């Protein structure tokens, strides 16, 4: 049984400067924004009532989650919807003292619904500029392939990333279901993206076994792994990840909500850490899973038995594993150190 979080530790986490490395643009749509968009587009079938939306966001399994996720995607009908959503995601992160985030965006699902690629990129970049100006949060982008849409999505995503891009685009990813979506088919697109200077940041080993993680490493050249929890089933893979310093982007509540892990008490985070694997703590699709980054840090602290110093070190690890500029990393690490020092004097 997991205890209620220590109020002092929760307060420390709430004020701790943090970065977020695994969070999805559409999956971060707050209930307020979803209901607003649902009222604007009732034909999409998403509840416009807040209480009904909470029930709607209760998932049977990962396939059901993808179905619900795509119904929310269908609410994003024009570039202004994209800009509004992106800005509001940044505002919510900034409220949690997130100073920098690598936001996973999926251009294909908007482009296929009729938003021009140029308009999409302009909308997210406008939101990024406004969020930095208004709230001091820096965003960079990971453009990901929605795996369920296959090769056409890979081609479109790669073209937008390489030919159009954005100055803030740092990574190329792969999301969506893993079962029935083998990683190797996407190799040419990751090769092209990497040749263009983008980092390889695919999801792997969430709802499938260790082989998916191996494919992400050996075929897609992964530099970080989204989720990667099934690595706990393979001691050789754990040793390889630890030795290579490949970080896993761990999202505990998400893993339970999608059925990848049976319950928080069974989460393999302690095994991963014990094996020497680098882990970062993230929120994935927070409103859909009824969580936030602060809550994920509380869960990690409970699972790992961490005090304030241990939690601060988790935050530092995420900064180091990010693809922020050296100056941004220095600034946030200094802010974490200063905050921790002040908290220790109280």
Per domain, the residue ranges of the chain are: 7-345
Angle ∠(312,314,320) on CA atoms, nearest 5: 105
For residue range 96-108, what is the model confidence (pLDDT) as tens digits? 999 999 999 999 9
For residue range 287-342, what is the model confidence (pLDDT) as tens digits? 888 899 999 999 999 999 999 999 999 999 999 999 999 999 999 999 999 999 99
Cβ neighbourhood burial of 186 (10 Å; 0-12, 13-18, 19+) = buried
Angle ∠(36,120,332) on CA atoms, nearest 5: 85
**Residue 113 CB partners (closer than 8 Å, separation 6+):** 73, 74, 76, 77
Position 69 scores a pLDDT of: 80
Cβ contact 98:19 at 8 Å: yes
What mean pLDDT is reported for the chain?
94
For residue range 208-260, what is the model confidence (pLDDT) as tens digits? 999 999 999 999 999 999 999 999 999 999 999 999 999 999 999 999 988 89
Question: What's the rounded Cα separation, in Å, for the pair 43 and 228?
Answer: 37
- Cα distances from 255 to residues 173, 216, 252, 290, 291, in angstroms, run 19, 19, 5, 12, 12
What number does CATH give the domain 7-345? Answer: 3.20.20.140
Buried-exposed string 208-244: b where 16+ CB fall within 10 A, e elsewhere: bebebbbbbbebbbbbbbbbbbbbbebeebbebbbee
Position 36 scores a pLDDT of: 84
How far apart are the two ends of the chain, measured CA to CA in Å? 30
The pairing of beta strand 224-227 with beta strand 247-250: parallel
For residue range 154-209, what is the model confidence (pLDDT) as tens digits? 999 999 999 998 999 999 999 998 999 999 999 999 999 999 999 999 999 999 99
Position 56 scores a pLDDT of: 84
Catalytic residues: 206
Question: What's the rounded Cα separation, in Å, for the pair 263 and 141?
Answer: 31
Counting residues of the chain whose pLDDT is more than 70, the rounded percentage is 98
Position 74 scores a pLDDT of: 87
Position 1 scores a pLDDT of: 42
pTM of the model: 0.94
For residue range 81-91, what is the model confidence (pLDDT) as tens digits? 999 999 999 99
Question: What's the rounded Cα separation, in Å, for the pair 99 and 332?
Answer: 7
């Amino acid at each position: 049984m997991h205890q209620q979080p220590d109020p002092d530790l929760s307060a420390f986490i709430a004020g701790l400067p943090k970065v977020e490395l695994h969070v999805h643009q559409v999956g971060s749509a707050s209930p307020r924004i979803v209901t607003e968009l649902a009222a604007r587009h009732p034909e999409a079938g998403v509840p416009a009532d807040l209480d009904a939306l909470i029930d709607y966001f209760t998932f049977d399994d990962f396939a059901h989650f993808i179905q619900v996720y795509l119904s929310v995607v269908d609410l994003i009908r024009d570039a202004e919807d994209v800009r509004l959503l992106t800005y509001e995601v940044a505002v919510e992160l900034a409220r949690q003292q997130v100073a920098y985030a690598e936001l996973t965006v999926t251009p294909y699902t908007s482009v296929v619904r009729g938003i021009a690629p140029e308009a999409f990129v302009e909308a997210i970049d406008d939101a990024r500029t406004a969020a930095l100006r208004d709230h001091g949060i820096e965003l960079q982008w990971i453009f990901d392939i929605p795996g369920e849409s296959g090769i056409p999505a890979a081609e479109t995503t790669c073209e937008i990333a390489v030919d159009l891009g954005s100055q803030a685009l740092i990574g190329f990813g792969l999301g969506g279901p893993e079962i029935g979506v083998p990683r190797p088919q996407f190799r040419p697109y990751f090769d092209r993206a990497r040749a263009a200077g983008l980092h390889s940041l695919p999801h792997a080993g969430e709802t499938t076994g260790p082989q998916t993680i191996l494919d992400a490493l050996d075929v897609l050249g992964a530099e970080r792994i989204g989720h990667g929890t099934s690595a706990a089933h393979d001691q050789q893979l754990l040793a390889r990840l630890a030795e290579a310093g490949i970080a896993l982007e761990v999202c505990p509540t998400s893993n339970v909500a999608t059925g990848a892990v049976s319950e928080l008490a069974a989460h393999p985070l302690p095994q991963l850490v014990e094996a020497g694997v680098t882990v970062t703590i993230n929120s994935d699709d927070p409103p859909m899973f009824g969580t936030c980054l602060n809550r994920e840090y509380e869960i990690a602290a409970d699972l790992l038995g961490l005090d304030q110093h241990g939690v601060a070190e988790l935050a530092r690890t995420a900064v180091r594993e990010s693809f922020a500029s050296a100056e941004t990393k220095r600034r946030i690490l200094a802010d974490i150190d200063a905050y921790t020092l002040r908290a220790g004097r109280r």
